[in-house]
Each structure stands twice: as C-alpha cells, then as structure tokens.
Structure 1
Amino acid sequence: MDAVFKALADPTRRQLLDLLHARNGQTLGELCEGLAMTRQAVSKHLALLEEANLVATAWRGREKLHYLNPVPIHEIAERWIGKFERDRLRALHDLKRGLEARADAGDEGEREG
C-alpha cells in the first residue's frame, strides 16, 4: 500500500490516472498530448504507477496501451474511509438530501404563491 500512496502523492501521476479514467487504453504518445512534459518524464511516472499496480499495460501490435486499475484505490477507500467513516458519510449524505428536498419544496411554494 505504501507504493500506492507514494504514486498518488504526485499531482502529475494523479493527472495521468485522470486521463486514463476519462479514456482508458491510451498509448504513451496519447498521454503525452495531455501533459506539458517529455515522453521520458511521462514514461517514468507511468512506471511508478505500474509498480503500484494502479496502471496495467497490454500490447497491441507495437503499441503499449495503458489502462487504469482502480482496485488499489478501492482497497484504500475500503480500509480508510469505508471502515471508519461509512456511517458518518451516510448520515451527512442523508442530511444533504433532506436539506435539498426542503429547499426544492420551498422554491416550489414560492413559484405557486
């Protein structure tokens, strides 16, 4: 899990994960288009993401495609958020929905009156 936290600590690596989330299966060249860095720098970031098992790769002919692997992030969420905060987050979510529903009902009453 340390490798995952280390990989996620860098904003460029998080941006790479966001790019893969938006469109999975990109080549190094395609990922470089979304970043203002050299291919070598992007390649180093991808290597760290692969080591942390956040990115999986597959070869299609001569192209190496990169895919987001969300499992390690899910495991972190389950361990650190799910176990400790699930009930509190559910209560906050329910409170938010209730307040929004009351606000919507109030808006509707103003339109009628």
Structure 2
Amino acid sequence: CTLLPGQHLREKELASKLNVGRTPLREALIRLAAEGKVLTLSKKGYFTLPLVEWALLDSYAVGRNALTLALSRTSADRVYRTVPVMNCLPPNLQFEQRQHSWKLVKEHRIARLV
C-alpha cells in the first residue's frame, strides 16, 4: 500500500488494502496522530503529512542523535583528560581529589553506556 504526502486516509479503503479491521486501524491512526506522524482534522479525518513536514521530522531526529553522540564522546574525552591532571596534584589536595573522582568515574560509565 503506497501513501502519498498529504493524502486523505479513508478508513474503509485503508482497512481493505491492509486487510485489517476498522477498529484496529482507527486505534493505529489515533496513535500515529498522537505521535505527530499523521494529521487529524476535526470532522475531516486523517491525512498523511506533507513531504516537507516528514523531512523536518527526520532532520530533527538526525540532529538529536548526532548531538547525543557528540555529548557522550565529550564526556568520555573530559574524563580521560581530567584523570591524569588530578594524579599530578600535590598531596594536600588528595582529599579533594578523592571527593571529585567518584563523579568522573560515574560520568565515564555513563559515557560508555551511551
């Protein structure tokens, strides 16, 4: 089943093409509308998004994923740069070093998970 951008989604036709009942189809359309993947217009029904809106949604997802990856790498780099510097501190700062080292280890573990 091929849907075009901006196409009106008629429940009866779509249920027939997809070989599903109208109730599960309606529930799926409600969920897609809640996720912003189809438009719902009062008393007019459901419509596929115009192509421009799909492109914007995809670009936001790509940007969010790139930012997440960049932030995780930045945190790991920060840990690797900070630990050697802390090891060079004078003995009178060892207490402060121990106090902050737990945070660095925690950030490193989180960065590896991401």
For the criterion TM > 0.5, the same-fold answer is no
Q: TM-score, normalised by structure 1?
A: 0.43
What TM-score do you get using the length of structure 2 for normalisation?
Answer: 0.43
